[in-house]
Amino acid sequence: MPSPIGLLAELTHRCPLGCPYCSNPLELVRAGGELDTKTWTRVLQEAADLGVLHVHLSGGEPLVRTDLAEIVNAAHIAGLYTNLITSAVGLTPQRLSELKGAGLDHVQISIQGVEPARADAIAHFKGGMKMKREAARLVVHEGLALTINAVMHRENIADLPQIIDLAQEWGAGRLEVAHVQYHGWALANRASLMPSREDFERAASVVDEAKTRLSGDLVIDHVIPDYYAERPKACMGGWGRQVIVIAPDGRALPCHAAASLPEMIFANVRSRSLSDIWREDDAFAKFRGTEWMPKPCRGCDRAEIDWGGCRCQAFALIGNAAATDPVCTLSPDHAIISAAIAKDEAAPSAPYRFRRIGG
Q: Which is nearer to ligand SF4, 125 or 287 (CB)?
A: 287
Q: Chain centroid to CA 177: how far?
A: 12
- Residue 265 near residue 54 (C-beta atoms within 8 A): no
Give the x-and-dash track for 212-241 against ligand FES (CB under 6 A): -----------------------x---x--
Of 357, 269, 259, nearest to 32 by C-alpha is: 357
Q: Judged by CB under 6 A, which of 78, 300, 312, 323 binds ligand SF4?
A: 300
CA-CA distances (angstroms) from residue 229 to 313, 319, 325?
Answer: 14, 21, 12
186 near ligand FES, rule: CB under 6 A: no
* Chosen residue from 220, 283, 312, 323 binding ligand FES by CB under 6 A: 312
DSSP output for 93-106: HHHHHHHHHHT--E
Binding mask 88-127 for ligand FES (x = CB under 6 A): ----------------------------------------
Give the pairing of strands 81-86 and 252-253: unpaired
x/- binding map, residues 231-260, to ligand SF4, per CB under 6 A? xx----------------------------
Name, in order, each residue with C-beta under 8 angstroms of 330's C-beta and a sequence gap of 6 or more.
296, 300, 324
Task: Answer yes or no: are the C-beta atoms of 157 and 201 closer than 8 Å.
Answer: no
User: In this chain, which stretch among 174-182, 218-226, 258-266, 325-333 interacts with ligand SF4, using CB under 6 A?
Assistant: 325-333
Query: Is 245 in contact with 254 (CB distance < 8 Å)?
Result: yes
What is the closest distance, in whole angstroms, from the C-beta atom of residue 338 to ligand SF4 in the complex?
Answer: 15
Q: Which is nearer to ligand FES, 200 or 307 (CB)?
A: 307
**Site for ligand FES (CB under 6 A): which residue of 80, 139, 257, 337?**
257
- Chain residues binding ligand FES by CB under 6 A are 183, 235, 239, 255, 257-258, 310-313
